[in-house]
């Protein structure tokens, strides 16, 4: 049982390049989330999904797109990377017990945009 995994762990991009971050969970969770973490700002929600085939915007969605084609996977895309997107990205998942269940986090992806 691997929990939540993220690939890649590290990435350096040049401004304007694109990339996709992959999140996978093996807990059969309905809900999945993408956050970014910046120093002193906690975690900010980028996008989330409440089930296969669904996505919704979070607090800071601009510049990102997501897809949830399979229940176990949640992809985060950057179409044209900007230095402001330098951050640590965390994926999380949870069950759908009305919010009572905790979120399970992946180990993070450290992204630098030059």
Partner 1 sequence: AQSVTQLGSHVSVSEGALVLLRCNYSSSVPPYLFWYVQYPNQGLQLLLKYTTGATLVKGINGFEAEFKKSETSFHLTKPSAHMSDAAEYFCAVRANTNAGKSTFGDGTTLTVKP
Q: Could you list the residues that contact partner 1 (CB under 8 A)?
A: 4, 31, 33, 40-43, 45, 48, 50, 56, 58, 90, 92, 94, 96, 98-100, 102-108
**How is residue 59 written in tokens?**
């607090």
Shorter beta-carbon distance to partner 1: residue 3 or 16? 3
- Reduced 3-state DSSP string for the chain: CCCEEEECCEEEECCCCCEEEEEEECCCCCEEEEEEECCCCCEEEEEEECCCCCCEECCCCCCEEEECCCCCEEEEEECCCCHHHCEEEEEEEECCCCCCCCCEECCCEEEEEC
Residues 107 and 1: their CA atoms lie apart, in Å, by: 15
- To the nearest whole angstrom, how small is the minimum distance from the Cβ of residue 71 to partner 1? 15
- To the nearest whole angstrom, how small is the minimum distance from the Cβ of residue 16 to partner 1? 28
- To the nearest whole angstrom, how small is the minimum distance from the Cβ of residue 93 to partner 1? 10
Shorter beta-carbon distance to partner 1: residue 80 or 96? 96
Shorter beta-carbon distance to partner 1: residue 16 or 51? 51
Shorter beta-carbon distance to partner 1: residue 48 or 64? 48
């Amino acid at each position: 049982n691997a929990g939540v995994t993220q690939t890649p762990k590290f990435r350096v991009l040049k401004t304007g390049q694109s990339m996709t971050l992959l999140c996978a969970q093996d807990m059969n969770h309905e809900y999945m989330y993408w956050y970014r973490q910046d120093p002193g700002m906690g975690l900010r929600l980028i996008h989330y999904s409440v089930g296969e085939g669904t996505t919704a915007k979070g607090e800071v969605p601009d510049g990102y797109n997501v897809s949830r084609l399979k229940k176990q996977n949640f992809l985060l895309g950057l179409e044209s990377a900007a230095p402001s997107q330098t951050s640590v990205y965390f994926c999380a998942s949870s069950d759908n017990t009305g919010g009572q269940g905790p979120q399970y986090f992946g180990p993070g992806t450290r992204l630098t945009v030059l």
